[in-house]
Chain A
Amino acid sequence: MQPSNLALRWLDQLGAHTLGVLGAFGDFCLFGASTISYAPVDIATRRGWGRLLPQCYAIGTRSVPVVMLTGMFVGMVLIVQGWEQFDAAGLSSRLGAVVNISVTSELGPVLAGVMLAGRVGGALTAELGTMNVTEQLLALRSMGADPIRFLATPRFLACLILTPLLTVYADLTGALGAWVIYSGVYGGDSEAFWRYTADIVENWDLITGLVKALFFGGAIGLIGCYAGFHCRPGAEGVGRACTEAFVSSFIVILMLDFFLNFVNNGVYKALYGTRSLF
């Protein structure tokens, strides 16, 4: 094959792939817009709540133990990691505050989001993917019902509402786990732990953490539902969709976290100026 032909073929493949990716992104945006557009009406109607509450139980209530465990171990590990350095510098009394600010503003929402992407996002994709390959989505359409409204919107709303609430659990158990190791294992001063935490961790940190969780929840819900609605036929198609949904959710959570941190820092600086932990 001539080099010019090879280059043309490569360009052709690159162009086709780019078009495919852009098309899929456009399709995802339309799906997201359609899902979100039904949310206000569904929240305002009894029928909408009838569809939402079972999802709140499946997505929220059943995720509480795993999110609490995640938060607790994150808090405990951070104390174990930081104790020697902070103690050597004579700053062990501040370690609790540093850990708690990390948990509330960063690790709590991110790790809760990642856990939910695995537990909830995967389950959403598997459930909707199975409904897709067994013609249940087509059946809904054939009966004059919009599958996005009946299936995607309640799941999206449940993820959106409950991820911040689950993050509160992660924050609380993170702080408790950190305190248990700080005072129980290393003999740190409990009074200093909570006093510096109260001084340094601001409402701003809590709120920005919860705002992040709101975005993460929305992303998990939309990606999980979209993957289920568009999975390929067969068990392999559903399995692949679950994996893709989890990986995509994970990456999107990290990307959103990066950009939201930029925005948060900018807004904080504009409102209160630069702050120091010491």
Chain B
Amino acid sequence: MDARDPIIELRQVSKSFGRRIVLDRIDLKIQRGTSTVIIGRSGTGKSVLLRHIVGLHRPDHGEVYFEGRRIDRLSERQLVPIRRQISFVFQLNALFDSMTVAENVAFPMTETGNGRADPRQIAALARRSLQMVGMAGFEDKRPADLSGGEKKRVALARAIAMDPPPKVILYDEPTAGLDPQRGDVITRLIRQLQREVHVTSVVVTHDMKLAAQAGDRVLLLWNGRFIGDGTPEELLSSRDEHVRRFVDGLAEPEDLATLSQ
């Protein structure tokens, strides 16, 4: 496969839940080593789109490719080798409550690995991952003992603690629920991980600051389709009315109309 070929590709992907169309013939190509940010209002299907990339959702129509291989028709078992190359940082962190921080971070290597890894190597890699996100010394704590920002950082550590490292990290609202300062730490970490681990990042957010700082490319999802696509600067200077309103944080006229009713 050519390095210039997209690592992730969605072709005409549509997804509905009941009568609600969430994704409407989406086309998306993501190049290796880039950081792509998908922005959009809450409930517009950003997370659904992200989950298609790792096979957690199947499209009603359309095709999903990873490194040129079509994955949307693979069984759960066939998806395992694909999923071991992609890390997912969930909006609610999804840390396992019954495990310590160290066990959570080591989980992808101990429980889902091929069983050949040396436990000492796994522990060392978990420690290094925690150091990278500034969480060294928290190994024996439980997720319940951590703050929101600390949980997010542990989730990031778990995402990178793979041997070999992941090719893609998917971030679902990584700064949601965090104060601006903690959000800034996470934004910097995403950038830092991309530099140090050379990973392809796909970030879903409605945080414009994160989009501007973490993205090489920003797309705006609107009513199931992309209506904006460019560098952060291009999107920030867009004249499209919906893009402008989203960037400026202004409500849509129809939303205001429902308020006045």
Contacts and interface: CB of A to CB of B under 8 A. Distances in A.
A, B in one complex? yes
A272 B225 CA distance: 74
B92 A142 contact: no
B146 to A, nearest CB: 14
Contacts of B86: 142
Interface residues on A, range: 10 to 19
A142 B88 contact: yes
A144 B112 contact: yes
A138 B76 contact: no
A150 interface: yes
Contact of A143 (B51, B93, B107): B107
A190 interface: no
B94 interface: yes
B76 A135 contact: no
Interface string B48-76: 00010010100000000000000000001
Contacts of B51: 138
A142 B56 contact: yes
Interface in B83-108: 83-84, 86-88, 90-98, 107-108
B170 to A, nearest CB: 8
Given A141-B76, A142-B54, A146-B76, A135 B92 contact: yes
Contact of B96 (A47, A136, A146): A136
A141 B94 contact: no
A135 B111 contact: no
Contacts of B98: 54
Contact of B79 (A54, A131, A144): A144
A83 B56 CA distance: 62
Contacts of A136: 94-97
B124 interface: no
B71 to A, nearest CB: 13
B80 interface: yes
A14 interface: no
Given A143-B83, A144-B79, A138 B111 contact: no
A148 to B, nearest CB: 10
Contacts of A135: 90-94
Contact of B84 (A47, A139, A144): A144
7 contacts: A54-B98, A135-B90, A135-B94, A136-B96, A138-B56, A142-B90, A150-B111
